[in-house]
Chain A
Amino acid sequence: MDKGPFVCTGCALLCDDITVDLQDNRVIGVNTACLKGVSRMKGCSSPMTCTVDGKTVDVDTAIKEAARILEEAKHPLIFGHGNSTLEAQKKSIELARELGAHIDDTSSFCQGPLVEAILNEKIPTCTLDEVRHMADVIVFWGADPSHSHPRHLSMYSYFPRGKQRQRGWEEDRTAVIIDVRRSDTAAVCGDKLYEIPVGADPEFMDALLNALASKVPKTSFNMDPKRILELANILKKAEFGVVFAGLGMTYSLDSLEPLFRLMDKLNETAKFHLIPMVGQYNMRGFDHTLFRETGHINRVYFGGEEVEHGPQRSVVELIRNNIIDAAMIIGSDPLASLPGPLAKKLSKIPLITIDPCENLTSRISKVTIPSALSGVECGGTAIRMDGVEVVLKQIIETNRLTDEKIIARIMEEI
C-alpha cells in the first residue's frame, strides 16, 4: 500500500503533504491536515445508501432508474461537480451532451466570474508555489482563509520561509485585509485591516485607484484618505503582490470592471496577481474542463442547435423559471446551499444524487447512488485553486463505484 503523502480534498488548497494511519481498511488518523481536512478524510458518519424511492436497492437498479429519469426528462440538469475528479467531470459533460441537457456547477454562484476572467487572460495570476517563494505583499480581499482554507497562510501565503522570502512574515511579507468585519484572518494583518461597509468593494477599488494615481481618495463611508494612501504605497512597492479574492469581493461586484482597472493600475508600477479563493476541491477543474470543450466555464445548455450559455442557463435561473424537470446532482447539496425558495422548488422535481454521504438533497431524492470518496477511496486528478493540476491517490479499498464509473454506467443504459 502507498504510504503517501496523500492529498486532502477538504478544500481547493489540495494540501499534498497528508499522511494517514490505517486500520482494517479504514482511515483512523490523519496527520498534518487541518480540522476540516481530518473530518473529510476520515469519512462521514452518515454514508449514503443506494435507494430508489427511499427503498434500498442494488446499484444496477438505481443506475437503471437514474437513466430512465434522465431519458424521460425534457429538460434535465446535471449539477454539482465541485467534489468530483476531472475524469468524472469529463464524463458528466459527455452525458450532458448526449442528453441535450443543461449543465452547471457551483461556480455559477461562487467564484465563476473570476475563474472565467483568468481563463480569458483578463487578470494576471500566479501559482501558490510562487506565492510561497516570492510574494511580499499579500492582500486578502473579502476572504477569511483561517476558516475557509485553514492551512492557506501556513502552507503558502504568509508564514512560510520561501526561496526569496527567507525572513518570512516577520520582515519579508506584508499582509493586508479588506473586509466587512475583523475576521480571524484579520488578526494576522494587525493594523492593515481595511474595514469597509457591505457591498462597498467597487467603491473602495476606485478609491484605491485614485490613491495609486496620487489623488486624494474619497469614500462615502469616510475612510481616512491617509490610510488609503498608505495602502496604495504598500501596494505600489510590491515586488510580487497577490490578491486573494474571496466571495466577499466577488459577490459585491456587479461587474468585474473596477477590479480589472485596479489590477491594470497596480501592474503599471508593481507586479500583481490574483488567485480566487475557490472552495470545493475541484470546482476550478470543472470550469477548466467545460471551458476547453465549449469556451464557457459553466451555465451551458446542450439541447439547442448550438451550445447555449448565459445567466438564463444558470442553475438558479433554471430552477426559478421552472425550466428543468429532473436533475442529477453530483457531489453537491443544493438543497442546503441554494436560497430557500429555490431549494423548495428543486425538491418538487425528480432528483438523482450521487455522493459518498447523505445530505439534505439526497434525503428527498428519488434515486441515490453512493460513490467513492475521492482522494481516499479513489484517485484521479483535480485542479487546485491556483489552476495547478494535482494528482489524487487512492488510500483505501472500497466497493463503491467512482462518480466517473457511475456516470459511465448511466450512459450505457441510455
Chain B
Amino acid sequence: MGFGQFLTEPEFKLIIVTHRDVFQNTAQENSRFGEQYAERSSVIRLDKDDMKKMGVKAGDLVVAKNASGRVVLKAESSTLEQSHPGTAFMINGPWANALVAADTGGTGVPAFKNIEVMLSRSKGEKVTSLAELI
C-alpha cells in the first residue's frame, strides 16, 4: 500500500462525444450481455497530449464522473490523426449514457453527444460492469 492512495487524483475537465461503432453494434445484436459489447462500450478514447498531461497510458483505468453518474472506463489513445485536446470519444451505450444528464432544458432530447465530465486516474478499481449500471 503506497502513500499515493491517500491523495486524490487530479481531475481534468473533458467533453465526451459519442458515436456508433459497427463492431459494438454487431456484438449487441448477438447479446447485450456479451463481453465484446461491454468491452467496446466501456472504452474512452483520449487525445494523446491529454493522456500525457493526465499521466494516463493506453489500457489504464480512469474514472469519469459528473452530477449524473460515475463510471470506471478503460482509457485508450485516440485513433484520430489530428489532435483534439479536451474532447474524448466513446461508443454510444449504457456506459456513456450513465453520464448523460436527465435535464434537457425541457426539449426532451438529452445531450448524448456532448457530455461534460471530470476525468481522473482510477485507483485500483475495476471497469464498471453492466450489472452495476442497472
Q: For B99, list chain A residues within 8 Å (CB).
A: 340
Please report the C-alpha to C-alpha distance between residue A93 and residue B22 in the assembled complex, in whole angstroms: 32
What bracket does the count of chain A residues touching chain B fall in?
35 or more
Selected from B32, B34, B97, the residue in CB contact (under 8 A) with A338 is B97
What bracket does the count of chain B residues touching chain A fall in?
35 or more
B68 → chain A closest CB, angstroms: 5
Closest to A317 in B: B108
Q: For B82, list chain A residues within 8 Å (CB).
A: 182, 195
**Is A34 positioned at the interface, with any CB of B under 8 Å from its CB?**
yes
A221 → chain B closest CB, angstroms: 12
Selected from A180, A247, A311, A340, the residue in CB contact (under 8 A) with B107 is A311
Please report the C-alpha to C-alpha distance between residue A199 and residue B107 in the assembled complex, in whole angstroms: 16
The answer on a CB contact under 8 Å between A45 and B32 is: no
**Is B100 positioned at the interface, with any CB of A under 8 Å from its CB?**
yes
The answer on a CB contact under 8 Å between A339 and B32 is: no
Given A181-B80, A251-B114, A341-B68, verify A336-B94 contact (CB < 8 Å). yes
**Is B129 positioned at the interface, with any CB of A under 8 Å from its CB?**
no
Q: For A150, list chain B residues within 8 Å (CB).
A: 22
Selected from B27, B30, B34, B110, the residue in CB contact (under 8 A) with A109 is B110
Please report the C-alpha to C-alpha distance between residue A13 and residue B61 in the assembled complex, in whole angstroms: 37
The answer on a CB contact under 8 Å between B106 and A35 is: no
Please report the C-alpha to C-alpha distance between residue A311 and residue B105 in the assembled complex, in whole angstroms: 10
**Is A40 positioned at the interface, with any CB of B under 8 Å from its CB?**
yes
B3-11, B13-21, B49-57, B119-127: which lies at the interface: B13-21
The answer on a CB contact under 8 Å between B108 and A109 is: yes
The answer on a CB contact under 8 Å between B133 and A340 is: yes
**Is A160 positioned at the interface, with any CB of B under 8 Å from its CB?**
no
The answer on a CB contact under 8 Å between B97 and A316 is: no
**Is B118 positioned at the interface, with any CB of A under 8 Å from its CB?**
no
Q: For A340, list chain B residues within 8 Å (CB).
A: 68-69, 94, 97-100, 133
Interface centre among B32, B68, B110 (most CB of A within 10 A): B32
Please report the C-alpha to C-alpha distance between residue A341 and residue B94 in the assembled complex, in whole angstroms: 11
Please report the C-alpha to C-alpha distance between residue A39 and residue B28 in the assembled complex, in whole angstroms: 9
Within 8 A of A (CB), among B77-126: 80-82, 84, 87, 89, 93-94, 97-104, 106-114
The answer on a CB contact under 8 Å between A341 and B114 is: no
Please report the C-alpha to C-alpha distance between residue A409 and residue B109 in the assembled complex, in whole angstroms: 33
Please report the C-alpha to C-alpha distance between residue A299 and residue B106 in the assembled complex, in whole angstroms: 13
Please report the C-alpha to C-alpha distance between residue A225 and residue B94 in the assembled complex, in whole angstroms: 40
Closest to A247 in B: B113
Please report the C-alpha to C-alpha distance between residue A35 and residue B21 in the assembled complex, in whole angstroms: 11
Q: For B26, list chain A residues within 8 Å (CB).
A: 35-36, 38-39
Selected from A251, A312, A347, A360, the residue in CB contact (under 8 A) with B109 is A251
The answer on a CB contact under 8 Å between B108 and A314 is: yes
Given A36-B22, A358-B33, A360-B32, verify A299-B108 contact (CB < 8 Å). yes
The answer on a CB contact under 8 Å between A147 and B31 is: no
Closest to B27 in A: A39
**Is A116 positioned at the interface, with any CB of B under 8 Å from its CB?**
no
Q: For B12, list chain A residues within 8 Å (CB).
A: none
Please report the C-alpha to C-alpha distance between residue A319 and residue B110 in the assembled complex, in whole angstroms: 13
**Is A363 positioned at the interface, with any CB of B under 8 Å from its CB?**
yes
The answer on a CB contact under 8 Å between B102 and A147 is: no
**Is A248 positioned at the interface, with any CB of B under 8 Å from its CB?**
yes
The answer on a CB contact under 8 Å between B22 and A181 is: no
Q: For B100, list chain A residues within 8 Å (CB).
A: 339-340
B74 → chain A closest CB, angstroms: 18
**Is A183 positioned at the interface, with any CB of B under 8 Å from its CB?**
yes
Given A40-B29, A336-B32, verify A147-B19 contact (CB < 8 Å). yes
**Is A216 positioned at the interface, with any CB of B under 8 Å from its CB?**
no
Closest to A248 in B: B113
The answer on a CB contact under 8 Å between B15 and A198 is: yes
The answer on a CB contact under 8 Å between B32 and A316 is: no
The answer on a CB contact under 8 Å between B29 and A39 is: yes
Closest to B87 in A: A198
Chain A to chain B: the 3 pairs with minimum beta-carbon distance, closest first:
A314-B108, A340-B98, A39-B29
Binding site for A on B (CB under 8 A): 15, 17, 19-23, 25-27, 29-34, 68-69, 80-82, 84, 87, 89, 93-94, 97-104, 106-114, 130, 133-134
Q: A44-B30, A340-B99 are in contact. List 12 more A-B contacts (CB 8 A).
A: A36-B26, A109-B110, A144-B20, A147-B22, A147-B25, A195-B82, A254-B107, A299-B108, A320-B102, A342-B102, A357-B31, A358-B33
Provide 24 A-B residue pairs closer than 8 Å at the C-beta atoms, listed in order of the A residue: A10-B29, A36-B25, A38-B26, A39-B26, A147-B25, A181-B17, A199-B114, A247-B113, A251-B112, A251-B113, A312-B108, A314-B109, A316-B110, A317-B108, A335-B134, A336-B94, A339-B98, A340-B98, A340-B133, A347-B134, A357-B32, A358-B31, A358-B32, A360-B32
